[in-house]
Structure 1
Amino acid sequence: MNIRRLKVADVQGYRELMLQAYELHPEAFTSSASERATLPINWWESRLTSRLDVILGAFVVDEPVGIVGLSLEHRLKARHKATLFGMYVAAAHRQGGLGQQLVQAALDEARRHAFLRLVQLTVTAGNDPAVKLYQRSGFVLYGLEPMAIRVGDEYFDKIHMWLEL
């Protein structure tokens, strides 16, 4: 297993894995598979080349099987914060600690930026395995956003968590 920052050459695998995530777990992501599937490949590439987003992937050989993102804040007054986003591990690679490794890799990346003081994230209420994963990494709950997203006719709350670096 190799965890590294994604490059433009990884764009197809990144796109496919994220579309799988959106399709299989629509309640876990704010974006939907249908809206992201229509985006041109250069949109996906821009995520990988952005100076404010760091997308990390876990690879088996050359195939991405896990993804996590870290978004840096561009506004000066909020520059001390980063957001962990887009966390996903393909079903066949769960239960082996890969999620924990990806979160740790994102936190290691955050610590490389001396100006960062905290990392925040949201997780869908009721997704207990994800909440426990983040808690094991040191994140603590600080709020609940009711009806944060809607999938079909169903609404899902989002738990807000943060970690001081």
Structure 2
Amino acid sequence: MEIRQLTSLDAKKYWDLRLEALKQAPEAFLTSYEDAIKRENPVTQVAGNFADEGNYTFGAFEGDKLIGVVTLLQEKAEKIRHRANIYAMYVTPKKQGIGVGKALLTEAINKAKSIEVIEKINLSVVATNEAAKKLYLSLDFKVYGLEEKAMKLNGVYLDDEHMVLHLKRT
């Protein structure tokens, strides 16, 4: 398995995996599959995102197949530039539970640590997603809040737990 930052050349593979993620785990993402497929030129948009400063998307590859992704997005506003966020974390179901997610998150954390101004990383996770929460906790993320009814999916409310990792600077 290889973990690396994605480039515009990976945009089509990313988009295909993103659509899979939205179908397989709709509760894990704010975007719905139905909204995603309505986007115009999504692969071009993804390629542009990969080129944005402060936007780092990492992919896990098995050969040339993309099996997992995570995005680290640094805040741009001056007063909150010390924060980054984890978004769009996903590992294809057949590859879950074998360390792909941990490898991806470790790469994202290491990238954040390499950017001197970033002091903390935030993320949100559906409160019932025990596997994801276990992974985040294993990497020293801490829960700092609960948002009740954060999302409504098929008439069912889902709560989000907000988590933070404070980066240790030496």
Aligned residue for 1:131?
133
In 1, the alpha carbon distance for the partners of 2:10 and 2:30 equals 23
Aligned residue for 1:104?
106
Aligned residue for 2:13?
13
Aligned residue for 1:86?
88
> How far did 1:52 drift?
2.4
Alignment of 1:65 onto 2:67: yes
Code of the residue aligned with 1:105 in structure 2: it is: E
Aligned residue for 1:2?
2
What do the CA deviations read for 1:81-137 (whole angstroms, capped 9, x no partner)? 000111100011111111111110000010010001000000001100100000000
What do the CA deviations read for 1:5-58 (whole angstroms, capped 9, x no partner)? 101111111001011111111111111111112221221212211112110000
Task: Give the ranges of 4+ consecutive aligned residues of structure 1 lying more than 6 Å apart after TM superposition.
Answer: none
User: RMSD across aligned C-alpha pairs, in angstroms?
Assistant: 0.8
In 1, the alpha carbon distance for the partners of 2:53 and 2:38 equals 24
Aligned residue for 1:30?
30
> How far did 1:161 drift?
0.2
Sequence identity of aligned pairs in percent? 33
Superposition TM-score, scaled by structure 1 size: 0.97
The answer (yes or no) to whether the contact 2:127–2:159 under 8 Å persists in 1 is yes
In 1, the alpha carbon distance for the partners of 2:87 and 2:45 equals 17
Code of the residue aligned with 2:166 in structure 1: it is: E
Alignment gaps of 5+ in structure 1: none
In 2, the alpha carbon distance for the partners of 1:63 and 1:37 equals 22
In 1, the alpha carbon distance for the partners of 2:9 and 2:98 equals 27
> How far did 1:138 drift?
0.4
Q: Secondary structure at the match of 2:48?
A: helix
Code of the residue aligned with 1:20 in structure 2: it is: E
- The alignment of Structure 1 onto Structure 2 pairs a total of residues equal to 165
Aligned counterpart in structure 2 of residue 51 of structure 1, from 43, 50, 53? 53
Alignment gaps of 5+ in structure 2: none
Superposition TM-score, scaled by structure 2 size: 0.95
